[in-house]
Amino acid sequence: MIGKKQFNAEAIAKRTLFLFAITGALILFLIVVFIFKEGLPIFNQINPVDFMLGGEWSPSKDVYGALPFIAATILITAGALMIAVPLGISCSVFLAEIAPKWARELVRPAIELLAGIPSIVYGLFALVVIVNTIEVSFDVPTGESILAGSLILAIMILPIIISISQDSIEAVPRAYKEGSYAMGATDTQTITRIVIPTATPGIVAGIILGMGRAIGETMAVVLVLGNVEKIPTNLLDQGEALTSVILLEMGEAAVGSPHYNALFALSMILFMIVFSLSSISNHIIAKRGLRPG
C-alpha cells in the first residue's frame, strides 16, 4: 500500500522554478557586466578622477569631463527634494493621522494616479506649462532651467515618498500616541515629538528611494533643462543631467569608440549611485517590516 517515493515531478518543477527565480539576478548580473565592460575602457585614456571632475565634455575633441552633468543632476535632485520632502511628509501625516475617510479616499487614488502618469507626459507638461511660467514670472530668455527640472521631479517623486512615509507613520504604535495625549500633549506636540520621530527611519527610506528615482529620471528632465554642457550656478541656469547625455548622444556615438565608452561610464556612475541608494533604503524598509516601494 505504501509505495516507493516518486517525487521526480516535484523535483523537476522545483528546479525549473528555481531557474525562473534567478532570472532577475541573472539579468542584473548581465547589466552590470555589460555596462562595466563597455564603460571601463574609457579609463585607459583618462583617469577616473579627471573624468568625474573635468569641466569640459567635447566628444569631437575627445575630451570627457562629466562634472557639468554630475552637478546638474545633483542640483535638480536637491531642488526636487527640498520641495517634495516637506510636502510629502505633511501629506503623509495628513493621510495617516487627521484625514477624514472621504478625504483619504480622494487623496489616495490621486497619488496612485500621479504615480501612474508616464514620465514623458510629465516632461511634455513641464515643457509647456512650467517652463513658460518660469519664463514669464522671472522675465528670462528661456524657462528651461534647473528650477523647471526640480519642480517636475518633485511632483514625480511625491507618490513614492508619501506611500512609504505613510506606511511608516501608520506603523507607529497607538500606545505611544495615547501615552502622549494622556499626559496632556496637543495634536501638534504628539505629531512633532512622537509620531514623526518614531517614523523617521521609514520616512528616510522613502526619501532615499525618491532620490534614486530623481537621479535616474530621464524623459521629464531632458525636455526642460535646456541641455547645455556647462556647470549650472543658479536655479535659473540651464544644464544637462547625466541621464540626458546618455539619451541624446548614444545615437551618434560609434560602437566601441571612446565617446561610446564614456557614455557607458556615465551609466556606471548612475548605476552605482542608484544601486547604493536602493540598497540603503531597502535595508531600512526590510528592517522595519514595511512594504517595499
Partner 1 sequence: MSMEKIIVRELNLWYGEKQALEDVNMQIRENRVTALIGPSGCGKSTFIRCLNRMNDRIEGVRITGKVEIDGKNIYDKDVDVVALRKRIGMLFQKPNPFPMSIYDNVAYGPRIHGTGDKKKLREIVEDGIRGAALWDEVSDRLETNALDLSGGQQQRLCIARTLAVKPEIILFDEPCSALDPIATGKIEELIHDLKREYTIVIVTHNMQQAARVSDYTGYFLLGEMIEFGKTKKLFENPHKKETEDYITGRFG
Partner 2 sequence: MITANTADRLLKILLWASAFAIILVLFSIMGYVFLMGAGVMNLEFIFTTAKNNWKEGGIITAIEGTLIVVSIAVLFAAPIGIGAAIYLAEFTREGKTTKIIRLAADSLNAIPSIVFGLFGLTLFIHYLKDYTGGASLLSAGLTLSFMILPTIMRTSEVSIRTVPLQEKMGSYALGATKLQTVKNIVIPGALPGIFTGIILSLGRAAGETAPIVFMTALNPITPSSIFRGGNALTTTLYYLTSEGISINRAFGIALTLILIVLTLNYSARFVNNYLTRNQRR
SS (H, E, C) 210-275: HHHHHHHCCHHHHHHCECCCCCCCCCCCCECCHHHHHHHHCCCCCCCCHHHHHHHHHHHHHHHHHH
Q: Residue 49, class by beta-carbon neighbours within 10 Å (0-12 exposed, 13-18 middle, 19+ buried)?
A: exposed
Q: Which is nearer to partner 2, 31 or 82 (CB)?
A: 31
Interface residue with partner 2 among 91, 131, 134, 199 (CB under 8 A) is: 91
**Is 1 a binder of partner 1 (CB under 8 A)?**
yes
**Is 8 a binder of partner 1 (CB under 8 A)?**
no
Residue ranges in 241-270 that form contacts with partner 2 under rule CB under 8 A: 243, 246-247, 250-251, 255, 263-264, 267, 270
Helix (H) or strand (E) holding 58, with range, is: strand 57-58
Q: Which grid cell sits at 190? A: 504628539
Q: Which is nearer to partner 2, 71 or 96 (CB)?
A: 96
Helix (H) or strand (E) holding 64, with range, is: strand 63-64
Residue ranges in 197-226 that form contacts with partner 2 under rule CB under 8 A: 209, 212, 215-219, 222-223
**Is 110 a binder of partner 2 (CB under 8 A)?**
yes
**Is 6 a binder of partner 1 (CB under 8 A)?**
yes
| Residue span 155-194 as binding mask against partner 2, x where in contact by CB under 8 A, dash where not | x--x---x-----------------------xxxx-x---
Only one of the segments 1-9, 68-76, 162-170, 228-236 lies at the binding site for partner 1 (rule: CB under 8 A); that segment is 1-9
> What is the 8-class DSSP label of residue 41?
G
Shortest CB 59 distance to partner 1, Å:
57
Helix (H) or strand (E) holding 8, with range, is: helix 8-39
**Is 4 a binder of partner 1 (CB under 8 A)?**
yes
Single-letter amino acid, residue 188: T
**Is 99 a binder of partner 2 (CB under 8 A)?**
yes
Residue 2 binds what, of partner 1, partner 2, none (CB under 5 to 8 Å, by partner type)? partner 1
Shortest CB 288 distance to partner 1, Å:
24
In angstroms, the Cα distances linking 189 to 181, 182, 201, 290 are 9, 12, 19, 25
Interface residue with partner 1 among 2, 21, 25, 175 (CB under 8 A) is: 2
Backbone angles phi, psi at 57, to 5 degrees: -130, 100
Q: Which grid cell sits at 215? A: 537621479
3-state secondary structure at position 63: strand
Q: Which residues bind partner 1 (CB under 8 A)?
A: 1-6
